[in-house]
């Protein structure tokens, strides 16, 4: 298999696609991103990096950050987190509030917005939002082995200025006693993590521990346990694309986490960490060409986790 060629071919095919989906437009910083962008970076288990397209251009990773926040929260508070957030796919939109009523303020999973706000709250653990945001940024820089990872201040500000639904989710969960800190603090952490700005290369580097049983290749640092790594990957496969998770598993067959910035982190245990980026989204808010690129990559490499 010539992986470099496969990656280059996919980038060329995606550049030629006419139907690129719709760029998120709820904040100006996302609305002005050029839909013509496409980037891909694949880091293999052996440490080779294959990139093509706009793989070095930073973009807003948005909900992909939920994977890193969850990893850090599990490391800090461990299994008690699962009393406050579930592990079932929601079948609903990423920002839905509906299930919170019958399920008494316990979100279905940590990757829908409500679940991620609970994770942010758990990360706060009585500290100030600024400190927690700093911890998360340091953690992601460490994972990517790149000090160039930043939080985009304009995006963070717009997320907060337009985040009425997220604040509502926070308040609703607070009313059930499922937030320990002030709603404003938990949401502040959440808005800043959504504003993490990373390139495909940085994102694929940051995801390496997930293909490697929780160990960072190279440094050998233990990021999380093998058991948690398997579970985070399981959640990515079942919940990483919201109400499009079944379709993504059906078409691509690898654990993946998407964000409305058009990025997707894909994990092939024992084989590769992959990041793709194309800002146009499908009707479920997942990258249209990012999903197609991963589908072709899985097909040509045999990397679906269901391929024996
Ligand atoms: N900032 C977005 C929100 O909270 C993130 C959602 C996403 O990436 N799916 O609505």
pLDDT digit string (tens) for 33-85? 999 999 999 999 999 999 999 999 999 999 999 999 999 999 999 999 999 99
Assess whether 139 and 218 both reside in one domain.
Answer: no
Cβ(154)–Cβ(192) under 8 Å? no
Catalytic residue list contains 260: yes
Catalytic residue list contains 199: no
Domain boundary among 168, 194, 220: 194
Assess whether 46 and 140 both reside in one domain.
Answer: no
The CATH number linked to 136 is 3.40.710.10
Instruction: Give me the half-sphere count of Cα atoms (radius 13 Å) on the Cβ side of residue 198.
Output: 35
Question: What are residue 40's DSSP bridge partners?
Answer: 52, 276
Q: How far is ligand 1, taken at its centre, from the CA of residue 290, in Å?
A: 17
pLDDT digit string (tens) for 213-229? 999 998 999 999 999 99
Which pLDDT does position 194 carry in this prediction? 98
Query: Ligand 1: which of 23, 113, 239 to mutate, judged by most atoms within 8 Å of the beta carbon?
Result: 113
Q: What is the mean pLDDT of residues 258-286?
A: 98
Assess whether 74 and 182 both reside in one domain.
Answer: yes
Beta strands 150-151; 196-198: pairing state: antiparallel
Contacts of 32 (CB under 8 A, 6+ apart): none
**Count: domains in the chain:** 2
Residue ranges around ligand 1 (CB below 6 Å):
62-63, 94-95, 113, 159, 166, 194, 259-260, 285
Question: What are residue 52's DSSP bridge partners?
Answer: 40
Within 34-146, residue ranges assigned H as helices are 65-77, 98-102, 113-124, 129-144
pLDDT digit string (tens) for 144-195? 999 999 999 999 999 999 999 999 999 999 999 999 999 999 999 999 999 9
Q: How far is ligand 1, taken at its centre, from the CA of residue 195, in Å?
A: 10
Closest CA to 67 of 293, 277, 255: 255
**Is the pTM here over 0.90, yes or no?**
yes
Q: How far is ligand 1, taken at its centre, from the CA of residue 112, in Å?
A: 9
Assess whether 217 and 291 both reside in one domain.
Answer: yes
Domain boundary among 163, 194, 225: 194
Domain boundary among 153, 175, 194: 194
Q: Reply yes or no on whether the pLDDT at 241 is more than 90.
A: yes
Q: pLDDT-based confidence at 126, cuts 50/70/90?
A: confident
Assess whether 178 and 200 both reside in one domain.
Answer: no
Assess whether 186 and 203 both reside in one domain.
Answer: no
* Structural domain span for residue 232: 3-62+196-301
Closest CA to 139 of 202, 205, 187, 69: 69
Assess whether 53 and 132 both reside in one domain.
Answer: no
Contacts of 276 (CB under 8 A, 6+ apart): 38, 39, 40, 200, 263, 264, 266, 287, 289, 290, 293, 294
Protein residue closest via CA to atom 2 of ligand 1: 62
Catalytic residue list contains 23: no
Q: Please tell me which residue in 7, 172, 189, 190 is annotated as part of the active site.
A: 190
Which pLDDT does position 140 carry in this prediction? 98
Which pLDDT does position 301 carry in this prediction? 98
Assess whether 102 and 189 both reside in one domain.
Answer: yes
185 lies in a domain?
Answer: yes
Catalytic residue list contains 242: yes
Ligand 1 atom with minimal separation from the 259 CA? 8
306 lies in a domain?
Answer: no
**ipTM reported for the complex, 2 dp:** 0.96
Assess whether 155 and 202 both reside in one domain.
Answer: no
308 lies in a domain?
Answer: no
pLDDT digit string (tens) for 8-26? 999 999 999 999 999 999 9
């Amino acid at each position: 298999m010539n992986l470099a060629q496969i990656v280059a071919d996919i980038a060329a095919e995606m550049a030629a696609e006419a139907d690129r989906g719709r760029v998120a437009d709820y904040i100006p910083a996302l609305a002005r991103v050029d839909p013509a962008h496409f980037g891909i970076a694949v880091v293999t288990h052996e440490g080779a990096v294959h990139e093509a397209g706009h793989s070095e251009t930073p973009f807003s990773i948005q909900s992909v950050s939920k994977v890193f926040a969850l990893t850090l929260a599990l490391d800090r508070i461990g299994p008690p987190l699962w009393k406050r957030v579930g592990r079932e796919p929601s079948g609903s939109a990423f920002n839905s509030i509906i299930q919170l009523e019958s399920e008494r303020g316990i979100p279905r999973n940590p990757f829908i917005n409500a679940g991620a706000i609970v994770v942010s709250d758990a990360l706060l653990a009585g500290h100030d939002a600024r400190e927690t945001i700093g911890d998360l940024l340091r953690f992601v820089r460490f994972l990517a082995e790149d000090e160039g990872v930043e939080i985009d201040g304009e995006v963070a500000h717009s997320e907060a200025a337009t985040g009425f639904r997220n604040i509502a989710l926070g308040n609703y969960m607070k009313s059930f006693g499922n937030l320990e800190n002030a709603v404003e603090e938990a949401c502040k952490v959440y808005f800043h993590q959504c504003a993490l700005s990373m390139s495909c290369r940085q994102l694929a580097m940051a995801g390496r521990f997930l293909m490697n049983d929780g160990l960072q290749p190279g440094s050998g640092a233990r990021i999380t346990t093998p058991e948690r790594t398997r579970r985070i990957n399981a959640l990515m496969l079942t919940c990483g694309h919201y109400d499009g998770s079944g379709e993504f598993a059906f078409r691509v067959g690898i654990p993946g986490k998407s964000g409305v910035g058009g990025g997707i982190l894909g994990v092939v245990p024992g084989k590769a960490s992959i990041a793709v980026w194309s800002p146009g989204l499908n009707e479920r808010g997942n990258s249209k060409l990012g999903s197609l690129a991963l589908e072709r990559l899985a097909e040509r490499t045999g990397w679906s986790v269901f391929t024996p």
